[in-house]
Each structure stands twice: as structure tokens, then as C-alpha cells.
Amino acid sequence: MKTKGKQVLSIAVILFVTVCLTYYSNLIVWNGISMNDLDKESLTVGSVRKLLEEEELVTERANSNGQQKRLPQCVIIGARKCGTRALLEFLGLHPLIQPADQEVHFFDDDRNYNRGYEWYKEHMPYSYPKQITLEKSPRYFITEKAPERIHQMNSSIKLIVLLRNPTTRVISDYTQVYYNKIAKGKDVDKFEDLVIDKKTNQINTGYRAVQISIYYNHLLRWFKFFKREQVHVVDGDKLITNPLSEINKVEQFLGLQSRVTENNIYFNTTRGFYCMRTPKTNQKCLGLTKGRKHPHIESSILQKLNEFFRPYNKKLFSLINQTFDWDD
């Protein structure tokens, strides 16, 4: 009886394993994986159960509305102080765009990058299959490794870069650092002391804010990995004065119908810039750190900055086949 009982139990176990293997083989074929790619010896009863449990977890990652987290199909790569946050918020008004709330800094931070794509995906918002997941981290623009890393993740991804008058961008960059240091009780250098090299009386090319504004140098690196049609350049100055026109161009670039209209955007006279009308909050403006008044800069320094950037701007216009009115 004991022998017969063991035989019955063995047959039951074999049948269970067979059913599990059949189910799992179908499961992995659906996911584009061949059974030949697996180590058959590792498919014990315990391992099959573990794999099935993992599949259930994958299924459960969808939220109650049937949305899932996905890697971004589009990334706003920069540039810093050119309106990346404003553009992200405006694009979030479109029902087919799901923006990430925070800057993830995946491709510019080695520690984050080494955590892998699953970690990156977990920082993305839930979305439906037809929605576009959008992320922005302005530091990508100036990070040497970022273009290749993004290309390795998705060679057909779409990129958005915002550019504004490079002189204005330097001043805006300085302004943000200025207020941040003041808030922390730290000493602040004068703008002219940072932007002018005392030895040569010329523009200090070692000043990080100046380096960021040499857009041509950075975009050269991006175009080594991406085609021009994959990169949409937004006029950051027009985004301030006429945001709707720039938003509609981005919608077109993403292959979407224009859904953001003048009903979604209004000029806030108190804040001095454009804000949003959203279904949830009715009205929404960017934080108090946005739109801060820039310090007064001597005209001679402004002239030096404009002259310094002019040759780089000309090469940029040729590179992207697009021009901006940055002479003044």
C-alpha cells in the first residue's frame, strides 16, 4: 500500500509539473522567449511556482484603472533655466501625455543608472497603452554619457530640448543660485566677478553657467546618436511670451492632435507669466521661484556676453536648421 501510495503521489507530482511547464512555456512564448533559452534543469516544481508567482506580481503592477508604469517614450533633456518645468506642466494638460512628477536623474547619475531600467520605470507615472510617458531632467543636456545611455534604452525615442537667449539663460542661472545661497545664509559672488575673467577681462569660459549656454557644443554630442527628426527644439523665449504656439508644435512632434487650447492657458497679471487651467485645481501656476526678477547687469557685460555667444549661435542655427532672434 505504501509503495502504491508513493506511485500515485509521484504521478500526481509529474502531472503537476507537466501542467506547470506547459503553462509556463506558453507564457514565455507570449513574451517572445524560447524554451531553448532557458536552463531546463532549473525548472523544478519550486522554481516553476516561483516563476508563476512572479508573473502574477507583474500582472498586479497595473493599478485599479488598468494603467501600468512604462519607460518614457519622450524625454525633455534640457536645457536648465529654459522653461523645462513649465513645458512639462503645460504638456500634462494633454490627455494622452503622462509626465513624471519629479526629475529622476537616471541617465546623468551613475548610482541611479546602475540600478537598472526597472528602477527607472518605477519612477514613471501610471499610464494607458496609448498615452505617452514623459520625463524631464535638464542635466541630461550637459551630461556626456546621457546621449549614448538613452540611445541604448530606446534608439527611436523622441527628445525635446528647450533653448533661449544664451545670455538671458546665464543670468537666470545666476539668479537661481543667488537666491538659493541667500536662503542658506551663504555668501554670494557678484555676477560680473563670475562671468568675467579678471586676468583677460574676457568671458570666463570656466563658469558653468556660460558652458551650459554654449548649446552647439552639447547638441553636437546628441546628434552623434540621434537623428535630427528625433529632436524637437523649443523656443524657450517664445514659451514665455506665447506658450500655446510652442505647445502645439510639441503636440505635432509627438504625433498627437492639438488638445491644449487658449482655454487651458491664461496670463496671470499678479505673477507676470502664463499659468494653467486644469480640471482638478481650476487654476495652477508654477512655484514662487519661477519668474523672479533678474539683477541689473551692466550693458558692457551684456554686450560681451552677446559677442561671445554669437559665433556659437551661428553654428547652432546651421546644425539644427533653425534660427532664433538672439542678437540683442
SS3 readout for 238-299: HHHHCHHHHHHHHHHHCCCCCCCCCCCEEEECCCCEEEECCCCCCCECCCCCCCCCCCCCCH
Please tell me whether 213 is known to bind a ligand: no
- Whether 162 is in a domain gets the answer yes
Please tell me whether 277 is known to bind a ligand: no
pLDDT in tens, 35-68: 333 333 333 434 433 433 343 344 345 666 779 9
Domain that includes residue 54, residue range: 2-60
Please tell me whether 82 is known to bind a ligand: yes
CATH number at residue 299: 3.40.50.300
Please tell me whether 2 is known to bind a ligand: no
Please tell me whether 133 is known to bind a ligand: no
Distance in angstroms (rounded) separating the CA atoms of residues 219 and 127: 30
The pLDDT score that the predictor gives to residue 296 is: 87
- Whether 12 is in a domain gets the answer yes
Are 56 and 189 within one domain? no
Are 178 and 316 within one domain? yes
The pLDDT score that the predictor gives to residue 39 is: 38
Q: Is 26 helix (H, G, I), strand (E, B) or coil?
A: helix
Q: Given its phi and psi angles, is residue 185 left (phi above 0), alpha (psi -120 to 50 degrees) or beta? A: left
Catalytic residue list contains 81: yes
pLDDT in tens, 184-196: 989 889 999 999 9
| Grid coordinates belonging to 116 | 537598472
CA neighbor of 92 nearest in space, from 260, 245, 238: 260
Are 111 and 171 within one domain? yes
Name the E strands within the chain. Answer: 68-69, 74-78, 97-99, 126-127, 132-136, 158-163, 196-197, 202-203, 231-235, 265-268, 273-276
Are 52 and 157 within one domain? no
The pLDDT score that the predictor gives to residue 287 is: 67
Q: Are the CB atoms for 326 and 125 separated by under 8 Å?
A: no
CA neighbor of 282 nearest in space, from 264, 259, 258, 307: 264
Rg over CA atoms, the chain = 26
- Whether 147 is in a domain gets the answer yes
Domain end call among 60, 80, 107:
60
The pLDDT score that the predictor gives to residue 7 is: 53
**Which residue among 2, 4, 69, 81 is the active-site one?**
81
Domain total of the chain? 2
DSSP 2-23: HHHHHHHHHHHHHHHHHHHHHH
- All residue ranges of the chain with pLDDT < 50 are 1-2, 6, 8-9, 13, 17-60
Point out which residues pair with 267 in neighbouring strands. Answer: 274
Q: Is 326 helix (H, G, I), strand (E, B) or coil?
A: coil
Distance in angstroms (rounded) separating the CA atoms of residues 45 and 53: 12
- Whether 276 is in a domain gets the answer yes
- Whether 327 is in a domain gets the answer no
Please tell me whether 164 is known to bind a ligand: yes
CA neighbor of 285 nearest in space, from 134, 135, 89, 95: 89
Question: What torsion do the CA atoms of 100, 103, 107, 110 make, to the nearest 10 degrees?
Answer: -130
Please tell me whether 290 is known to bind a ligand: yes
Please tell me whether 184 is known to bind a ligand: no
Please tell me whether 40 is known to bind a ligand: no
